[in-house]
Structure 1
Amino acid sequence: LTPAIGPQGHVPHAAEACLACICRTDPPTPNAAQPELDAASIRQALEGSLRRLRTTYIDLYQLHWPNRYAPLWGARQYDLAAAQSWPKVADMEEQVATIGELIKEGKIRYWGLSNETTFGVCRMVEIAKRLGVPPPISIQNDFSLCYRYFEGEWPAGDARLDPGPDQHILEGKGAGCL
């Protein structure tokens, strides 16, 4: 997984250089979009990753960090002043539509979310359903023995999405949580 953060972009490039040496038949290649998360930035980040990885598609593409204020990293209270002072908020519909285009173009196979709130996941899934885009298949959130907030928050969101009998929006081991 190439993270969206790192000392001046060096970490993603180093990881991608190592992965580029692996034959394409080896394990799937996950990747993450850079922080801006508007359509142009998502496409630019993806094209750069495809070029550095010397591949034509990414198996799992993560939208890494919401591009809006969200109470993360231990903050449990929503701070309205912080939300209102956020400099630029990318449109979730634009993000999902861009992901749908990239899937149709064959540049990504699946997508997921990282460091996203239950609200953000539910909103993205609702938009994906409305636009006819496959929903995210994974979420990678802050979770540890000491910080288990997401464990209690997620089931309410999953139930609210009403995916149908015996289905969860984020399928797989740990309900799709990485």
Structure 2
Amino acid sequence: MTDYFPLGASGLRVPRLWLGAMMFGDQTDEASAREIVAATRDAGLNAIDVADNYAGGESERLVGRLIAADRARWIVATKVANPIGTEPNDRGLSRRWLLAEVDHSLRRLGTDWIDLWYMHRDDEVTPIEETLATLARLIELGKIRYWGVSNFRAWRIARVVETARRMGVPPPIACQPPYSAVTRLIETELLPCCAQYGVGVVAYSPLARGVLSGKYQPGAVAEAGTRAGRGDRRILQTEFRPESLEVAQRIRAHAQSRGLSPTQFAIAWALNNRLVHGVIGGPRTPEQWQDYLAALDVHLTAEDEAFVDGLVPPGYASTHGYNDPIYPITGRVARG
């Protein structure tokens, strides 16, 4: 039987593994997506994660069709803030855009409510008070049940929660950051911050965008059909690093010595952190999703933890000085 846990300081009970639908409507066709959703249902899981900008909105549409028959059992999370078009106000966290885009997402999903609405990225131009007042109003209207943050810095999460408390409006219940054995940066500040404020953590990219599956050989050309082989911009910007490819092969060998697939080990490792309440698996194929599901039965040991720490120290990334270029370091402003 699947275990469910309250997400953050809320009454919303969710499983440890979320189905990520980013590939739906893009690399995953409807027939395969239907099979993946059916497997999720059969496994007793009920949480699915998508975003308004995935596959130009087609991911939300496909998710909506696939869960329409039993919508009430599903916890549906989607996101807002990334650009949807070329106009200046079709992005961000302004009152104008939030009020418009929540209705767009509801129509694409074919539902009357969103269970968890994430701010997909920070918007340091829009006043926090404007955003929080709008989210509180949307909860009152029944269009969203809860809200969360994604890709926020720790100090901004603290400010958001403190502002919500001061305003007397519902605070975020969840944070969605990247987390994997080769990119452990959130261990330094973000995870302790979320724990302090009662914000649940549902991590994305536990396979480092596929690197920890072990399918990429160091120094070799990526196979056609893989994210790197397709020239996917985000994996090339972030996780497709020589050091990570080397670490992935060592983790692969270690996992196989334990009778596990690299995917199962990587998912289990992310879930073995008590400050992480769930992870999102984003399969392209039904076979990949079965590998994710099998990770729920894996239990790691102190030796497994020490092995990973020996490859990538806590709080660090595999590559010295690594930082996602979309979220640049802001702590130095030159005087001249």
Q: Answer whether TM exceeds 0.5 for this pair.
A: yes
Report whether the alignment pairs 1:32 with 2:97. no
**C-alpha contact 1:138 1:177 (8 A) present in aligned 2:** no
Q: CA deviation at 1:120?
A: 1.2
Once residues 4 and 93 of structure 1 are traced to their aligned partners in structure 2, the CA distance between those partners, rounded to angstroms, is: 23
Q: What is the correspondence of 1:20-59 to structure 2 with a 5 Å cutoff?
A: 20-21=64-65, 22=67, 23=69, 24-35=71-82, 36-59=92-115
Q: Does the CA contact (< 8 Å) of 2:61 and 2:110 recur in 1?
A: no
Corresponding residue for residue 2 of structure 1: 50
Counterpart check, 1:14 vs 2:14: no
Q: Offset of 1:175 from its aligned partner?
A: 4.7
Q: What is the DSSP-based 3-state SS (H/G/I as helix, E as strand, rest coil) of the residue aligned with 2:122? A: coil
Q: Which amino acid in structure 2 is aligned with residue 28 of structure 1? A: I
Q: Any conservation in 2 of the 1:112–1:138 contact (CA below 8 Å)? A: yes
Q: 1:151 corresponds to which letter in structure 2?
A: E
Residue equivalent to 1:61: 117
Among all aligned residue pairs of Structure 1 and Structure 2, give the percentage whose two residues are the same amino acid.
32
Residue 101 of structure 1: SS of its match in structure 2?
helix
CA contact under 8 A between 1:64 and 1:113: conserved in structure 2?
Answer: yes
Structure 1 position 155, deviation (Å): 4.9
Q: How much has 1:124 moved relative to structure 2?
A: 0.8
Q: Describe the shift of the 1:140–1:54 C-alpha distance in structure 2 as closer, same or farther (beyond 3 A).
A: same
SS at match of 1:51: helix
Matched with 1:119 is 155
Partners of 2:130 and 2:278 in 1: how far apart?
Answer: 24
TM-score, with length taken from structure 2: 0.41
SS at 2:178 equivalent? coil
Between the aligned partners of 2:175 and 2:117, the Cα distance in structure 1 is 11
Amino acid at match of 2:159: R
1:3–1:12 CA contact under 8 A, matched in 2: no
Tell me the TM-score normalised to structure 1 length. Answer: 0.73
Q: What number of residue pairs does the alignment pair up?
A: 148
Unaligned stretches of 5+ residues in structure 2: 1-48, 83-91, 203-273, 280-336
Question: For the structure 1 residues 30 and 156, does the alpha-carbon distance in structure 2 shift closer, same or farther, using more than 3 Å as the test?
Answer: closer
Change (3 A) 1:159 1:113: closer
Relative to structure 1, the CA distance from residue 62 to residue 12 in structure 2 (aligned partners, 3 Å threshold; closer, same or farther) is farther
Residue pair 2:51, 2:59 contacting (<8 A) in 1 also: no
Answer whether contact 1:137 1:176 (CA < 8 A) is retained: no
Contact kept in structure 2, 1:96 and 1:133, CA below 8 Å: yes
CA distance in 1, matches of 2:194, 2:113: 29
Cα deviations across residues 90-113 of structure 1 (Å, max 9, x unaligned)?
A: 111111111111011111001000
Given the superposition, is the C-alpha separation of residues 63 and 110 from structure 1 closer, same or farther in structure 2, using an over 3 Å criterion? same
Cα displacement (A) at 1:174? 3.8
Aligned to 2:43: none
